[in-house]
Amino acid sequence: MDDQRLRAYLLGQLSEAEAESLEARLLAEHEVFEALESVEDDLIDDFARGRLDAAESARVRERYENQPDRVRFARALAPRSARAHVVSFPRRQWLPLAAAAALAVAVGGILLRPERAPELPLPSAAPPPPSAVLSLGTSRSGGTPSEIALTPDAPALQLRVRLDPADRYDRYSMELRSAAGEVAWHVDDLRASADAGELDLLASVPSRALPGGGYELGVRGVNEGGSPEDLGFVTVRITRRP
């Protein structure tokens, strides 16, 4: 069940028939109910953090006026979680990007370490996973492969793929193919993050999917009801450090 649909339900944006159908489903399937609860948490958080528009805020206020504890909790949680959260890809700590099709790689140790709430000390976070910044080329064969080294204890490789700002789609998919043409890893339903005129895709590739060697990363974009379109490729070479 799509989170956006569940959120629309909570905001009263579904038709009566759609809402009735969803309610029947959530009564029949506990997983749907749990998903809705989770989406509800985020919605209340967004309300408490002032992220909703006027109409959405009014709807939440109306819906939760009988549950003031939940809103109060969300308001209290906001400053605490904001201080403790970990940003995986802080822009200021990334290596400068080249405009070339295949780009330099930054491996490990460049991620922002989690900030700590002074009044609420937290345990140390796990070491940041290795990361790489890639820009797409338009040719499958073009460019020198970007070199990425993975240590044995790295659970995953964090990828930031820079897109052409004109390549705005509802959703994106990303795929890594080995030199033999086999799909080593694939992810759908990604959404791009836009910041300062730049368009990026973020993804986490489990290390176990990358035993080493040459890979081709392909990205596709798709709009609602449309066909996927290839947006570009970049070749990478993974080496496993002992």
Give every CB contact of residue 26 below 8 A, 6+ residues apart in sequence. 32, 33, 36
Rg of the chain over Cα atoms, rounded to whole angstroms, equals 21
Residue 69 interacts with other proteins (CB under 8 A)?
yes
* Residues 84-103 as x/- pattern, contact with other proteins by CB under 8 A: xxxxxx--------------
Phi-psi group of 120: left, alpha or beta (phi > 0 → left; psi -120 to 50 → alpha; rest → beta): beta
Among 1, 8, 14, 77, binds other proteins (CB under 8 A): 77
Which CB atom, from 172 or from 215, has the smaller least distance to other proteins?
A: 172
C-alpha span between 229 and 125 (Å, rounded): 38
Pick the binder of other proteins from 2, 4, 18, 20 (CB under 8 A). Answer: 20
* Residues sharing a CB contact under 8 Å with residue 124, sequence separation 6 or more, in sequence order: none
Taking CB under 8 A as the binding criterion, the range among 66-74, 145-153, 164-172, 224-232 that sits at the site for other proteins is: 66-74
Pairing of strands 146-150, 171-178: unpaired
Q: Is the separation of the CB atoms in 130 and 151 below 8 Å?
A: yes
Q: Is 72 in the site for other proteins (CB under 8 A)?
A: yes
**Residues binding other proteins: what is the number (CB under 8 A)?**
66
Does 71 sit near other proteins (CB under 8 A)?
A: yes
* Nearest distance, CB of residue 187 and other proteins, angstroms: 9
Q: Say whether 231 sits in a helix, a strand or coil.
A: strand
Closest by alpha carbon to 157, among 148, 165, 166?
148
27 near other proteins (CB under 8 A): yes
Name which position in 123, 152, 181, 225 contacts other proteins (CB under 8 A). Answer: 123
Interaction of residue 28 with other proteins, rule CB under 8 A = yes
Token pair of 46 as six digits: 């967004």
Residue whose tokens read 């073009």 = 142
- Of positions 17, 99, 120, 166, contacts other proteins by CB under 8 A: 120
58 is an interface residue for other proteins by CB under 8 A = no
Pick one of 67, 138, 139, 144: the residue that binds other proteins (CB under 8 A). 67
Residue closer to other proteins by CB (options 73, 94) is: 73
Beta strand segments in the chain, E: 131-135, 146-150, 156-163, 171-178, 183-190, 193-195, 198-206, 213-222, 229-240
Enumerate residues 147-176 that contact other proteins by CB under 8 A: 155-156, 158
Binding residues vs other proteins (CB under 8 A)? 10, 20, 23-31, 33-38, 40-42, 45, 49, 61, 63-73, 75-77, 79-82, 84-89, 114, 117, 119-120, 122-123, 125-126, 129, 155-156, 158, 190-191, 193, 202-204, 206
